[in-house]
Amino acid sequence: MTRPAVVLLSGGLDSATCLAMARRDGFAPYAMSFDYGQRHNAELAAARRVAQALGAVEHRVVKIDLAAFGGSALTDANIAVPESGVEADVIPVTYVPARNTILLSYALAWAEVLGGHDIYIGVNAVDYSGYPDCRPEYISAFQTMARLATKVGVEGASITVHTPLIRLTKAEIIQAGIALGVDYGLTVTCYQASETGEACGKCDACRLRAAGFAQAGVPDPTPYRAA
């Protein structure tokens, strides 16, 4: 029987690549997305398209309530989304408190119910160096905690949080995904995409993504809206 792996799937470029990699690694991928009070739903629509296109065994969307805490431009309507670039060594205002910890905890719960020991998350320590919960030492500490937290861990299994993108540049991620048949036209990265998935072309996420396609030497399939 193919072993299950829970893949965190946002609908963006990185997590779509991760899903394709989980399949390549021989896992039966179970995709998990979160409805956490995003400002738009284009992201979740993209996650559904990607899960289907890349053959997820199942796709679950879990409603969570990050917006209740505020504290991030992505969930708090009172903080503006920056368009001015990422400053080095500063934690960006788009950082959501404890976000990856919450998402990985849900993935861990589903993995345990499925009898699985594997989770994929598309964190990247190159482009998102300012986010504490995208660093390898954080992922490693989560694995240690996860093994102690769970029935499968107590019974002797390791829990592995796979982070195949962690050291890749955006261009390398795109090249790897294209080799695995990922259709990036299905993905949405923009922090302020329209309901139908058109990107603004201005926010940090759009700029990183566009630069990635340019550096990869691959045509950018992103639908941009008129200025």
| Interface ranges with a second copy (CB under 8 A) | 60, 62-66, 68-71, 91, 95-102, 105-106, 108-110, 112-113, 132-133, 135, 137-138, 141-142, 144-146, 148-151, 153-154
Cα angle 163, 165, 168 (rounded to 5 degrees) comes to 145
- Minimum CB separation of residue 49 from a second copy in Å reads 21
- The answer to the question of whether 88 is labelled as a binding residue is no
- Cβ closer to a second copy: 52 or 144? 144
- Cβ closer to a second copy: 5 or 186? 5
- Minimum CB separation of residue 102 from a second copy in Å reads 4
- The answer to the question of whether 18 is labelled as a binding residue is yes
- Minimum CB separation of residue 159 from a second copy in Å reads 10
- Cβ closer to a second copy: 72 or 192? 72
Q: Residue 7: beta bridge partners? A: 31, 120
- The answer to the question of whether 134 is labelled as a binding residue is no
- Cβ closer to a second copy: 149 or 178? 149
- The answer to the question of whether 15 is labelled as a binding residue is yes
- The answer to the question of whether 54 is labelled as a binding residue is no
- Minimum CB separation of residue 75 from a second copy in Å reads 11
- From the number of C-beta atoms within 10 Å of its C-beta (0-12, 13-18, 19+), residue 227 rates as exposed
- Minimum CB separation of residue 87 from a second copy in Å reads 14
The pair of structure tokens assigned to 79 is 């903080």
Query: Torsions phi, psi of 159, nearest 5?
Result: -105, 125
- The answer to the question of whether 222 is labelled as a binding residue is no
Known binding-site residues for ATP equal 9-19
Q: Which residues are annotated as a binding site?
A: 9-19, 190, 200, 203, 206
- Residues annotated within a binding site for Zn(2+): 190, 200, 203, 206
